[in-house]
């Protein structure tokens, strides 16, 4: 059954879209990530214009993070004060991101920046994750118990000025790194169509030393708020949010996530991380190929301004 | 007196014009194409009859007529870009913009165009994709030739530009019909279909018909609210997402 997407102005099979959302939802439930970083590339590879893909996936990420954020909220696993700092800075980052998005789109370099951005972030994070996961699998095979690396109580970040107390996280840190992390995630998320959870969680753990009990919930709430704001910003600024596309993806992904979560209980942590790292690297390599290989057709076209609608 | 003189002039102009040409009586199957959620392309039939002008003798209608129908969609500014290799990375390097570029252009004829009229005659009548009115470049003028060819090729690959030779069928010496395939991604807007009657390489008559392609119903509501009420559109999208997420959290409480 073909579904006409009013903003993308193409017809796609509705089952393909729900299936795509379902597959990505399954992976996001399995690995506990938002899935935007997989969904946006897949939509681009299946022929949806990159601006529409990026903007519509932000809507899907909102749906994907809502149920998670709610369940952490009920358990009290959210540091509201920390989240509000991250959200305010994140929304300002998103403003800059959406503004940059518009400029790059008009200059014809949006696809390039999206490809480069994915290549750099997915490539570096995928390599790090794979390296770490393989190391712990090898140690596991050798029969040694892996001593969980306990981060030191303080690093240079904790010496910065403008310190604020975050009671729930048991932290007393400078707001500068908090604001910087929030703004970077907002900027990247709005530009690349990713929630940024897979960057935010490590940043909160390793840079700010946020305790594990609140890190996931707080990051989910931040992703939810930033992506909600980004969806509205994209809708107003570039008018590339396709609600039909976003809704098909949401329906698929929230269902897929349930199956992914239950499947994830049968796999060990480091195996999961190695698997996720391989998927992340595969997407990065796909982008690298599109940048490095001689294109089959060097010519492309874009409509700059519409005629009579 | 003046009125009568004017009427006479108008009448004689009409008379002279009609005397020089046959008439075309033309119609089409759908004056309005509606795009709804299950739109997967549409076919329009154009048909018509070649008739003698009022003043012509009955034997003015001969045979050896040729029909060429040009269907053009709404225009927009379109940019053709070429990827060039810089620092080992392929990125969009050069670009040429084209103003008032038709977003849809099909030329349907009963014979290959070069057997109907010469290139000059076709081009003057707008029956070539690269006729002057359809190529108004901006910017890098030096590369217009190459980029316009490539742009037309890209449009042809998407079936937005197409030449259909033998697409017009004559059912008698004077009665013809033609079918035009609008693809699923046909752009919205006002279309014009101009039917040209050729005989012995010369244009004898032409007739324009208009039709429009519009998204209708819910899809039209969505695309127009995305433009006109973009903030509320975004807000509704977010609320829909939060509701979907909440519902799934309730439905599959883990």
Contacts of B39 in chain A (CB under 8 A): 2, 4, 11
Residue B61 shares a structural domain with residue B173: yes
Instruction: Tell whether the model's pLDDT for residue A145 goes beyond 60.
Output: no
Asked if residue B254 is part of any domain, the answer here is no
Tell me whether strands B161-165 and B105-109 are parallel, antiparallel or unpaired. parallel
- For residue B37, the model assigns a pLDDT of 65
Tens of pLDDT along A214-265? Answer: 888 888 888 889 889 989 988 888 888 888 889 988 888 888 888 887 777 7
Residue B231 shares a structural domain with residue B144: no
- For residue B160, the model assigns a pLDDT of 87
CA distance, residue A102 to nearest chain B CA (Å): 15
Find the mean pLDDT for residues A112-133.
85
CB contact under 8 A, B241 and A241: no
Q: Which DSSP category does A189 fall into? A: H
What one-character-per-residue DSSP string does B224-253 give?
A: HHHHHTHHHHHHHHHHHHHHHHHHHHHHT-
Range of the domain at B240: 216-248
Which residues 21-60 of B are in CB contact (within 8 Å) with A?
Answer: 35-40
Residue B117 shares a structural domain with residue B210: yes
Residue B163 shares a structural domain with residue B122: yes
Asked if residue B165 is part of any domain, the answer here is yes
Residue B166 shares a structural domain with residue B242: no
Asked if residue B6 is part of any domain, the answer here is no
CATH number of the domain at B91, please.
2.60.40.3880
Contacts of A239 in chain B (CB under 8 A): 226-227, 230
Asked if residue B89 is part of any domain, the answer here is yes
- For residue A93, the model assigns a pLDDT of 93
- For residue A96, the model assigns a pLDDT of 93
Hey, is the C-beta of B3 within 8 angstroms of any chain A C-beta? no
Asked if residue B5 is part of any domain, the answer here is no
Residue B119 shares a structural domain with residue B235: no
CB contact under 8 A, B76 and A108: no
Of B46, B61, B49, B54, nearest to B19 by C-alpha is B54
Residue B224 shares a structural domain with residue B160: no
The structural domains of chain A, with segments of one domain joined by +, span 2-143+154-292
Of B92, B137, B96, B145, nearest to A297 by C-alpha is B92
Q: A166-175, A231-240, A283-292: which range is least confident on average?
A: A166-175
Contacts of A241 in chain B (CB under 8 A): 226, 233-234, 237
Residue B166 shares a structural domain with residue B228: no
CB contact under 8 A, A231 and B237: yes
- For residue A306, the model assigns a pLDDT of 47
Residue B164 shares a structural domain with residue B226: no
CA distance, residue B206 to nearest chain A CA (Å): 25
Tell me whether strands B32-35 and B202-215 are parallel, antiparallel or unpaired. parallel
Contacts of A1 in chain B (CB under 8 A): 38
Contacts of A8 in chain B (CB under 8 A): none
What one-character-per-residue DSSP string does A259-277 give?
A: HHHHHHTTS-HHHHHHHHH
What angle in degrees, to the nearest 10, is found between the helix axes of B230-251 and A212-237?
150
Residue B198 shares a structural domain with residue B235: no
Supply the ipTM of this predicted assembly: 0.81
Hey, is the C-beta of B217 within 8 angstroms of any chain A C-beta? no
Going from the first residue of chain B to its last (254 residues), give the mean pLDDT of each consecutive group of 10, the final group possibly shorter: 52 44 74 72 84 71 82 86 81 82 88 85 84 77 82 86 87 86 82 87 84 78 81 90 87 68
- For residue A88, the model assigns a pLDDT of 93
Sign of torsion, CA A59 A62 A64 A67? negative
| Count of positions (residues) in chain A | 309
Distance CA B23, CA B20 (A): 10
pTM > 0.80: yes or no: no
Number of folded domains that form chain B: 2
CB contact under 8 A, A108 and B95: yes
Contacts of A65 in chain B (CB under 8 A): 245
- For residue A156, the model assigns a pLDDT of 65
- For residue B2, the model assigns a pLDDT of 55
- For residue A183, the model assigns a pLDDT of 92
Asked if residue B234 is part of any domain, the answer here is yes
Residue B135 shares a structural domain with residue B234: no
The whole-chain average pLDDT of chain A stands at 81
Beta bridge pairs of residue A301: B80
Contacts of B227 in chain A (CB under 8 A): 239
Q: Which DSSP category does A49 fall into? A: -
Task: Band the pLDDT of A308: cuts 50, 70, 90.
Answer: very low
CB contact under 8 A, B234 and A247: no
Task: Band the pLDDT of A108: cuts 50, 70, 90.
Answer: confident
Asked if residue B233 is part of any domain, the answer here is yes
Contacts of A70 in chain B (CB under 8 A): 245-246, 249
Hey, is the C-beta of B236 within 8 angstroms of any chain A C-beta? yes
Cβ atoms within 10 A of the Cβ of A242, count?
A: 28
- For residue A207, the model assigns a pLDDT of 82
Cβ atoms within 10 A of the Cβ of A14, count?
A: 19
Beta bridge pairs of residue B93: none
- For residue A92, the model assigns a pLDDT of 93
CB–CB contacts below 8 A, A to B: 203
CB contact under 8 A, A250 and B81: no
Residue B210 shares a structural domain with residue B221: no
CB contact under 8 A, B38 and A301: no
The set of residues, in sequence order, having a beta carbon less than 8 Å from that of A96 and lying 6+ positions away, is A183, A186, A187
């Amino acid at each position: 059954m073909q579904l006409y997407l009013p903003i993308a102005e193409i017809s796609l099979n509705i089952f393909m879209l729900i299936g795509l959302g379902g597959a990505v939802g399954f992976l996001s439930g399995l690995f506990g990530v938002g899935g935007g970083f997989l969904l946006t590339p897949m939509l681009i590879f299946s022929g949806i214009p990159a601006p529409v893909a990026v903007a519509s996936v932000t809507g899907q990420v909102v749906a994907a993070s809502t149920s998670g954020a709610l369940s952490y909220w009920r358990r009290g696993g959210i540091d509201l004060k920390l989240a509000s700092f991250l959200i305010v800075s994140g929304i300002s980052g998103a403003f800059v991101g959406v503004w940059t998005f518009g400029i790059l789109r008009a200059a014809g370099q949006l696809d390039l920046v999206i490809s480069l951005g994915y290549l750099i972030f997915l490539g570096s994070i995928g390599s790090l994750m794979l390296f770490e996961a393989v190391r712990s699998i090898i140690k596991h095979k050798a029969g040694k118990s892996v001593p969980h690396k306990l981060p030191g109580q303080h690093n240079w970040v904790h010496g910065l000025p403008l310190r604020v107390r975050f009671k729930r996280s048991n932290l007393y840190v400078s707001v500068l790194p908090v604001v910087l992390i929030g703004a970077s995630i907002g900027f990247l998320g709005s530009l690349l169509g990713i929630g940024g959870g897979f960057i935010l969680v490590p940043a909160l753990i390793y840079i700010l030393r946020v305790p594990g009990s609140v890190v996931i919930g707080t990051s989910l709430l931040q992703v939810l708020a930033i992506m909600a704001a980004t969806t509205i910003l994209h809708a107003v600024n570039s008018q590339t949010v396709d609600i039909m596309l976003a809704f098909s993806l949401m329906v698929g992904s929230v269902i897929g996530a349930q199956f992914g979560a239950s499947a994830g209980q049968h796999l060990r942590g480091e195996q999961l991380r190695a698997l996720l790292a391989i998927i992340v690297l595969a997407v990065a390599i796909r982008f690298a190929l599109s940048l490095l290989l001689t294109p089959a057709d060097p010519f492309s076209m874009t409509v700059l301004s519409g005629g009579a609608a | 007196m003046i009125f009568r003189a004017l009427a006479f002039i108008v009448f004689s102009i009409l008379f002279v014009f009609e005397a020089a040409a046959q008439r075309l009586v033309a119609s089409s199957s759908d004056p309005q194409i509606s795009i709804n959620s299950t739109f997967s392309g549409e076919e329009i039939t154009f048909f018509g009859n070649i008739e003698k002008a009022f003043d012509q003798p009955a034997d003015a209608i001969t045979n050896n007529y040729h029909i060429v129908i040009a269907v053009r969609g709404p225009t927009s500014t379109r940019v053709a870009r070429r990827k060039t290799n810089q620092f080992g990375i392929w990125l969009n390097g050069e670009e040429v913009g084209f103003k008032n570029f038709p977003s849809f252009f099909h030329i349907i004829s009963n014979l290959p165009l070069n057997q109907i009229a010469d290139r000059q005659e076709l081009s003057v009548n707008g029956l070539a994709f690269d006729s002057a009115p359809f190529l108004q470049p901006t910017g890098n003028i030096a590369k217009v030739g190459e980029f316009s060819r490539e742009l037309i090729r890209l449009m042809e690959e998407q079936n937005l530009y197409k030449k259909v030779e033998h697409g017009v069928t004559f059912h008698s010496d004077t009665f013809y019909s033609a079918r035009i395939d609008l693809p699923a991604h046909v752009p919205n807007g006002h279309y014009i279909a101009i039917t040209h009657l050729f005989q012995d390489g010369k244009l004898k008559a032409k007739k324009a018909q208009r039709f429009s392609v519009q998204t209708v119903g819910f899809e039209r509501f969505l695309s127009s609210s995305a433009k006109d009420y973009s903030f509320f559109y975004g807000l509704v999208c977010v609320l829909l997402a939060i509701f979907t997420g909440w519902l799934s959290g309730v439905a599959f409480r883990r």
